[in-house]
Amino acid sequence: MKLATRAISIAVVVLAAVVALPAGAGASPAVPCPSLPSQAAIPARLVQGVDLTVCDLAGRSVSANGVEVVIPARGEGVQAEAAGSTGGGFLRVEVGADGKVAVITEEAQAATTTTSAYDRCTDYSFATTAKFSPTAFYLNSTERRPGNIAKSIFESIALSSFSTWKNGTNSCGLTPALKVPGSLSSGAWTYDANFTLSGGCGTRDSRNVVDWGPLAGGNLGLTCTWLVNGAAVEKDVRLDNSERAWTTGQTGCTTAYDVRSVLTHELGHALSLGHAAEYGGSDLTMSPNIGACQVSARVLGAGDVRAIQTQHGG
């Protein structure tokens, strides 16, 4: 009799423990550590919600939408924005103070058109990202430059691209009032943008750099943004030197990509603009698509002007 009572008591205790587990958890259930694929980059969806205090993912790259980033430290974030000939790429990974990873793969739009009837002077589509007010970007015009792009010409193009945003230079007769911060410093700099060997956003070093180097996939140019507690603290820009021909002129182009158009687009990201939604063929500078020989992105369209005015109007 005594034995039977004890057995029932134990059974009740065990049952209570099993029932109590889900109710007692309170907070959302922990996301299990992903089983890590053998390739260098982990698909970003596998780390959504993962707790870095439990899962050791230090130094690992994650990928989505054709771009990669290295998972940042607690309280920090990293964002990759790419331009391509067949579309752009976007990925932001943030790690909370509690170590939880948040993955964002969609860009928020500030304004969009909904028809293809617009051209670049009537399309006011734009997007912005965390406001960044740099003091300087350092241009590495010396290393890894494509062989047909002269150093002095590249420097001149880069300064023109930066001035386009400083002055709001556009093809639509708009006269924006701007106070765009910072400058582009060309010269003998040999700082490297903080990219990984596979062309993703790596670990920040507090210096904003524009350079050439290999990018992944079909990316023409990529801008990395590092964030601390949601505030942008560093931007690096890289143009791809591995997969395509580049041009600096408009004549005789058949398959090459225009350095000034792509760099002006990337410097828009560097000044905290996102990708404009592209419904038609309006081809704003901040549209994520830049085709071979396309030079229209050298100067701004209506949405680009609206975007820089929103971020840095003065």
Q: Among 32-40, 79-87, 116-124, 231-239, which window interacts with Zn ion (CB under 5 A)?
A: 79-87
Integer Cα distance of 187 and 306 in angstroms: 32
Give ∠ CA 181-187-190 in degrees, rounded to 5.
Answer: 100
Residue 192 within binding range of Zn ion, rule CB under 5 A:
no
Residue 187 beta carbon to Zn ion: minimum distance, rounded to whole angstroms? 26
Closest distance to Zn ion from the beta carbon of 64 (Å): 15
Residue nearest to Zn ion (CB): 83
Rounded to a whole number of angstroms, the minimum distance from the CB of residue 87 to Zn ion is: 10
- Element of type H or E holding 92: strand 89-95
> In this chain, which stretch among 77-85, 149-157, 194-202, 203-211 interacts with Zn ion, using CB under 5 A?
77-85
Q: How many other CB atoms are there within 10 angstroms of residue 42's CB atom? A: 21
Confirm if 236 and 195 have CB atoms less than 8 A apart.
Answer: yes
52/222 with CB nearer Zn ion: 222
Instruction: Collect all residues with Cβ–Cβ distance below 8 Å to 82 and sequence separation of at least 6.
Output: 65, 66, 67, 88, 89, 90, 215, 217, 219, 220, 221, 222, 223, 288
CB 156 to Zn ion: min, Å? 22
26-34, 85-93, 110-118, 124-132 -> range binding Zn ion (CB under 5 A):
85-93
The residues near 198 (Cβ < 8 Å, ≥ 6 apart) are 40, 41, 61, 68, 216
**CB 265 to Zn ion: min, Å:** 5
Closest-CA residue to 227 (of 34, 39, 81, 50): 81
Q: Pick from 68, 76, 81, 240: which binds Zn ion (CB under 5 A)?
A: 81
What is the nearest approach in angstroms of Zn ion to the Cβ of residue 240?
Answer: 13
Q: Which two tokens stand for residue 29?
A: 């259930």
Q: Is 89 helix (H, G, I), strand (E, B) or coil?
A: strand
Q: Which is nearer to Zn ion, 34 or 291 (CB)?
A: 291
Decide whether 81 or 94 has the Cβ nearer to Zn ion.
Answer: 81
Instruction: Tell me which of 67, 70, 83, 300 binds Zn ion, using CB under 5 A.
Output: 83
Largest CA distance in the chain: 100
Q: Which stretch binds Zn ion (CB under 5 A): 15-23, 55-63, 75-83, 151-159?
A: 75-83
Whichever of 47 and 83 has its CB closer to Zn ion, that residue is 83
Q: How far is the CB of 34 from Zn ion (least distance, A)?
A: 28
Closest to 148 (Cα-Cα) out of 247, 240, 260: 247
Q: Which residues bind Zn ion (CB under 5 A)?
A: 81, 83, 88
